[in-house]
Chain A
């Protein structure tokens, strides 16, 4: 059974850097084809894809946020980390991590999400 859980700060000040960790179980990010993504959702708004990392360390970033995002495998083999710099109040959202597979294109398992508020 695959499970995912996001963790990180609930409150971030403007201009600060947000670091979120997704801790997962039930699969290995070393297995061929496996990928992990981050998706966010501002309150009452649409889902927005942010970043993807695959088992072979191939990475993808949202063009609108490229330059602010970094996705990496964590120091623990069952973690993925997302860093977003220069946070702004418009970045206030629930941030989700999700499992995918290269060539599949869909996110088949999601974490519960973590709400991040950007405010001074």
Chain B
């Protein structure tokens, strides 16, 4: 089955740019979605269809997808962005969704 690989943790200073990667075989050919999950809360969709933001999600959140890596970019990071971030794709070969292992973003 399709496997998505994320780094366990990423750290960034406030005001800087955070980049969280999601690796998968030829992931550039797939549509990638990203979720933010704060402690004790349910996941929230922050980027869909590679680089669309649902209503209410700040423009600071963006996504890109090429080759074997997808990236969630968070510009001008704020303390409130500290959370776990999960990538997800639809595996067309098995016709079901697949989640990455999640990345903990720490704002220093």
**Which A positions have Cβ atoms within 8 angstroms of B?**
37, 39, 46-49, 52, 60-63, 96, 104-108, 110-113
Residue in contact with B42 in the complex, picked from A63, A96, A104, CB distance below 8 Å: A96
Interface residues of B in 50-108 (CB under 8 A from A): 54, 86, 88-90, 94-102
How many chain B residues touch A (Cβ–Cβ < 8 Å)? Answer: 25
Closest to A100 in B: B97
**Which B positions have Cβ atoms within 8 angstroms of A?**
1, 31, 33, 35, 41-45, 48-49, 54, 86, 88-90, 94-102
Q: Is the interface of A mostly helix, strand, loop or mixed?
A: loop
Contact between chains at B31 and A47 (CB < 8 Å): no
Closest to A110 in B: B42
Contact between chains at B95 and A47 (CB < 8 Å): no
Tell me which residues across on chain B come within 8 A of A108, comparing CB atoms: 45, 48, 54
Residue in contact with B33 in the complex, picked from A39, A46, A48, A106, CB distance below 8 Å: A106
* Residue with the highest number of chain B CB atoms closer than 10 Å, among A39, A47, A61: A47
Contact between chains at A62 and B86 (CB < 8 Å): no
Contact between chains at A47 and B86 (CB < 8 Å): yes
Give bound CA distance, A99 to B50, whole Å. Answer: 19
